[in-house]
Amino acid sequence: MEQTIQFYANAVLDPRPSVILMILAANAAVGVITETNAEKALEELRAYQADIATVLRNGCFSILPATDLVPGDIVEVSVGCKIPADMRMIEMLSNQLRVDQAILTGESCSVEKELDSTVATNAVYQDKTNILFSGTVVVAGRAKAVVVGVGANTAMGNIRDSMLRTEDEVTPLKKKLDEFGTFLAKVIAGICMLVWIVNIGHFRDPSHGGLLRGAIHYFKIAVALAVAAIPEGLPAVVTTCLALGTKRMARLNAIVRSLPSVETLGCTTVICSDKTGTLTTNMMSVSKICVFHSVHHGPVTAEYSISGTTYSPEGVVLDSAGIQLDFPAQLPCLLHIAMCSALCNESILQYNPDKGDYEKIGEATEVALRVLAEKVGLPGFNSMPSALNMLSKHERASYCNRYWENQFKKVALLDFSRDRKMMSVLCSRKQLEIMFSKGAPESIISRCTNILCNDDGSTVPLTANLRTELEARFRSFAETETLRCLALALKRMPMGQQTLSFNDEQDLTFIGLVGMLDPPREEVRNAMISCMTAGIRVIVVTGDNKSTAESVCRKIGAFDHLVDFSGHSYTASEFEELPALQQALALQRMALFTRVEPSHKRMLVEALQHQNEVVAMTGDGVNDAPALKKADIGIAMGSGTAVAKSASDMVLADDNFASIVAAIAEGRAIYNNTKQFIRYMISSNIGEVVCIFVAAMLGIPDTLAPVQLLWVNLVTDGLPATAIGFNKQDSDVMKVKPRKVNEAVVTGWLFFRYLVIGAYVGLATVAGFIWWFVYSDNGPKLPYGELMNFDTCSSRETTYPCSIFDDRHPSTVSMTVLVVVEMFNALNNLSENQSLLVIPPWSNLWLVASIVLTMVLHLLILYVQPLSILFSVTPLSWAEWTVVLYLSFPVIIIDEVLKFFSRNSCGTRFNFRFRRPDVLPKELRDK
């Protein structure tokens, strides 16, 4: 025993401290990287700041650095201009000014700005239609504005400050490991004190040379117990398991930026999902077309559906029965809709080879019309569909649009105005003058006197009945399906006309009605249903208006279980007006949160965390960054802004919401594996403690030499424990509710199981030692009393030589029993509760390989001469191996019995009791 103590006193010989130092260094590196990422997120916000601005100085406009702006400066902005500061509109230089502010508010459409100030109370950014926000982009028109905020006093500055105020949350696993570490430290300290106190009567034994020396001797034994009980390899194995998880998740297109967040996914209870760009594509797309089919026979109107949800010109036209039209451009109305969409348009659609995607320049609704023209195609070419597919992506982007622009010459333009709510363009082709118009349906329809029929291309008068039918279709598109609608029309103009006036926009011929939307991603529905099956609530968070967001949620289909959104859908203003108790209740039912700005998203995350929810926040815009950083796990889209990615814990490379489901399943599996190898390591270490403790209590010789104990710690603990991280997911991993935040990583029942298994491991090890001395045919067959009094052998007459206690066989048997029993115990940890009959050993070949490798290494030190001398072991006979197996295998049977009780919920009464989570705000609980 003194040799054992001396070995632990000379800890410098133990290579494990170097491993621990490496882990600490790795943790420090992760901390530095995390801080660097936070600074990087703030740095990347600068990418959304304008570099220059057209400013009025000394009575004339000049171009100056945007950083030189001060409040009160007059700035002129125009199409394509990035707003250099927060500014208030003072003069309109065109008929309208539209701004794309999706990066700030998440709105799917550009916003029309006006000079009048808002009358809304508690106005959010979306309501401030007379304010131009720094970093947003002008997509139509020109205007003058006065600077009202620069730097930190802008909306973007508020985002930066919010990110600076946000502290990183401690992950649930870290919290529970810290709690378990504290608990384990108390247990180990108690055992050490117990060993020291129990042996007080032996302090005066002559062999110790006095009371003080005896006290120090047993104090060293207590220290040896503590060293044996502490699972030094646990941090390394946890880190390895998390790293393995990140590798598997990378194959699922979920790129983990923060290692601990791998496990956090497993206990996520609420996902706050951004709508625009996350659940939807953030690309306006025409989805429906309504035209007059015929007024003479058959149905009066006809509807067509358009496939495709992005700016890619790949899509088809489907009739009302869902049958694809082979040559849609051969139908008169669809042909003229394509012409009008291409010619009455100021936007640009192009292919970006660097991003490998199609992108827009200009108004999103106009780009959607350009894409529609590409999908309709061109008339008169039987090979047209295949011919278009043979083009390069760069040529394909606007091939049909360029065709119409080459066929027609634009002569004059009437720009959009707020009072007319329409625009018109005069085009000339082969002595034919045609005016194409597009605009709000109510404006276009009121100016139409004729309609174009889709069956034969004839033009007939627009009667009152036809007008009523058309208005009903418009209301269905706009109200029922919440589509953004535009009406298209044309007019034959006098030959040679070169100008247009507002009076020309009368007596139009109606072509068709198009409905467009920011379409939901196709895979979202199944992904959200999977989340709900797993007990994870999804809250859609968006800056869009309430009706549009509710419509998208209905299209997703994940909220079909809600009869209506009453009590489940709130705007930010409505939520803030609720009393504290009502807010707490609303949070538990909320499914949709609309008209939000960045501060509201962060507030929502904090409120949910206050209710002990583990919150995952998805997003892609700059406006999402503070909430992504505050959430327990922030999930950014791969196509999102660099700011969002830098503030997040995980990035979805494929922008697929469904990847979150796979990542959550992986997170749950990682947590289960973490529990398994903690169980394995703790039960093994408890076995070593019991071995030393029982040997000391019985007064028998040291069962294991120091070098043998070190071998067991390093080899049998490390390899199988790491291999347990490769355990496959349980079949029901996504069919159970998320674990509670306050659930201990080691419950009372589980710790009881540790003790039972650990006690058997230790007792089996001691039993192997005693067996060799008392029962083995190759041993001395000593009476048990002689074994207990081995230390007095030299001072009394015996029938056996005292050198028998220096024989290497008993410690070899003990060491081999400890190794083999821990290998069997490793198989127990393929699943926490499932039997080995259900999950066989070969389900984890890595674990089988690690066990084989461990046994090969053990056989090497037993049978290879230099190693056997180094480890103080000797070869074992077949009879001794038989006893080793007899003593080791029962650990399987014992754990199978414990698993049976666990599956039948008999172990639940052993669980530690935790206080029920409070779901009400603290101020209400105090009342």
Strands 317-318 and 301-306, sheet pairing = antiparallel
Strands (E), 777-915: none
CA-to-CA distance for 625 and 45, rounded, in angstroms?
10
CA-to-CA distance for 766 and 293, rounded, in angstroms?
92
Of the candidates 519, 638, 733, 529, the one whose C-alpha atom is nearest the C-alpha of residue 252 is: 638
CA-to-CA distance for 418 and 405, rounded, in angstroms?
27
The three-class DSSP label of residue 634 is: strand
| Adjacent-strand bridge partners of 54 | 63, 76
**Residues 6+ positions from 412 with CB-CB distance below 8 Å:** 425, 426, 498, 499, 500
| H or E element, residue 616 | strand 615-619
CB 757 within 8 A of CB 894: yes
CA-to-CA distance for 104 and 275, rounded, in angstroms?
13
CB 552 within 8 A of CB 538: no
CA-to-CA distance for 678 and 746, rounded, in angstroms?
9
CA-to-CA distance for 242 and 261, rounded, in angstroms?
9
Residue 125: count of CB within 10 angstroms of its CB: 24
Among the listed residues 100, 274, 624, 717, the single catalytic one is: 274
First to last CA, the chain: 61
| Adjacent-strand bridge partners of 307 | none
CA-to-CA distance for 104 and 113, rounded, in angstroms?
15
Token pair listed for 718: 């490390």
559 vs 26, 66, 162, 425, 866, CA distance in Å?
44, 46, 32, 43, 70
The three-class DSSP label of residue 241 is: helix
Strands (E), 695-785: none
CA-to-CA distance for 30 and 24, rounded, in angstroms?
10
Strands 301-306 and 285-292, sheet pairing = antiparallel
Question: Is residue 326 flagged as an active site residue?
Answer: no
| Adjacent-strand bridge partners of 74 | 146
| H or E element, residue 924 | helix 922-926
Helices (H), 615-715: 625-630, 642-647, 658-698, 706-711
Specify the residue for token string 């050993």: 841
The three-class DSSP label of residue 560 is: coil
| Adjacent-strand bridge partners of 424 | 414, 437
Give the sheet arrangement for strand 137-140, strand by strand. Answer: 111-113, 97-100, 137-140
Exposure pattern of 486-496 as b/e (b: 16+ CB <10 Å)?
bbbbbbebeee
User: Catalytic residue numbers?
Assistant: 274
